[in-house]
Each structure stands twice: as structure tokens, then as C-alpha cells.
Amino acid sequence: MRINDDFTRPVIVHASRQDWIPSPAPGVDRRMLFRIGEEKARATSIVRYAPGSAFPRHTHTGGEEFVVLDGVFQDEHGDYPAGAYIRNTPGTSHVPASKDGCTIFVRLWQFRADDQAQSVRQPGEGQRVPPRNGAAAATLLFDDGHEEVRFEDWQPEAGVTVENANGLELLLLDGGLTIGNETLEPQAWVRLPADMALHATASRDGARVWMKRGPLMHENVCAF
């Protein structure tokens, strides 16, 4: 299976308009944004856990990175409510579940082979950094010199430009955005190739975004 696998082209996916696709685990469904592979895949997805659902224990050989969008995600290491950001490095394992249900945005098999920078940011954690023009606030979640991850809050009806030297991904968490002639709703996902700047306008309610800047696929990405 190959979905949005051409990294030279800009991509906008209106995930909230997609149907949910069942996973092998009962009660766990997905909206696929990017994928190379079948059940084992390099993948970016929105994943929904029904109340009481769980995946069996598994090891993330290629690493896992996720943001909790709503509800509370759980594993044996703790509870992660909406707004949490977690990086589970290659070789880590867990039993993901949700007692009351949750939705997460997750990236799999996209870590560098030498990346061992485990990170857990609970809601409100992270380093406050100066916001860019048009933004009200910015929180740095992760920066290892290879990639930078942030939450940003953009002001109502503000025009925002994000320079993009190496590649950019954005997930709209709340509010609305306009990019060109596309109107984005929460769960919309944007991916831009290197050297294509992002030009966006927030809605009258503003916008909250998760954003990663760095190579869209690392040269030394974990091998299958």
C-alpha cells in the first residue's frame, strides 16, 4: 500500500472527511495520511480508540511519535491526556489502550536509526519560545538539530509564514486555516517539500497547530 509517498509534492489531507478504517485490534480505527507498506508500514495516521480498546504488546522497531488529540491515551508507563506529545524511540515497547476512548495523531517507522532521544511532554510542558509573526504563543516540544517540533497558537485572521529549508509537516489541532484555496478543519494534515514555505491564514477563531520541521524522510531512517 502506498499513500502520499511522493515527498517532492505538497500534500493536504482533510482527515476529518475520511472514513475510519478498522485496524487488526477490535475497537481501534484509522485514517491514513501517509503510508508505505501493509500492516507493517512507514505511516502517518489519525487513530481512534473506542472505550476499553487496546493493542497487544508490541515493539516499535522503527520508533513511534504521537500527539493525543482528545480523550486519554494509556499504556503501562502512564496516562496521556489531550495535548500530550510522546516520542518512543526505536526498540521501545508498550501496550497501548484507552479506558474511556481517545484519538491520537501518530507517526511510525520515521525515526533515524541512531535516534535515542526519548521524550514525554504532558499538556502544558515544553519550552516557551518567542512566537513568529501572527502567532500568540509557541511551545518547543523537541529539537535535536535534525528536526524541530512545536505547538503554535496563531492569532485570529492572522497571516502566517513559516520558512521551510528541509521539509515541513503540520496538523491542525483546533480552529481553522486557509492555505491557497483550501479551507482546513481540525485533523487536516499538511506536508510540504523542502524550500516550499508555508503561507497560511488563520480563521476568525484562530488556529492551534502541531508542526515539525526537518527532512520528510531521514537518509538513515530505520530500515524495515
Q: What is the pLDDT of residues 58-90, one digit of tens each?
A: 788 999 999 999 999 998 889 999 999 999 999
| Distance (Å, whole) CA 35 – CA 21 | 14
What 3-state DSSP class applies to 62?
Answer: coil
| Distance (Å, whole) CA 52 – CA 27 | 8
| Distance (Å, whole) CA 202 – CA 222 | 36
Contact indicator for 48, 28 with CB cutoff of 8 Å: yes
Q: What are phi and psi of 162, to 5 degrees?
A: -120, 115
| Distance (Å, whole) CA 143 – CA 134 | 22
Amino acid sitting at position 18 = Q
Which residues have a Cβ under 8 Å from the Cβ of 17 and sit 6 or more positions away?
A: none
Q: What is the model's pTM?
A: 0.96
| Distance (Å, whole) CA 203 – CA 12 | 17
pLDDT 10s digits, 92-148 = 888 899 999 999 999 999 999 999 999 999 999 999 999 999 999 999 999 999 999
pLDDT 10s digits, 171-211 = 999 999 999 999 999 999 999 999 999 999 999 999 999 99
Q: Which residue has the cell 487536516?
A: 188
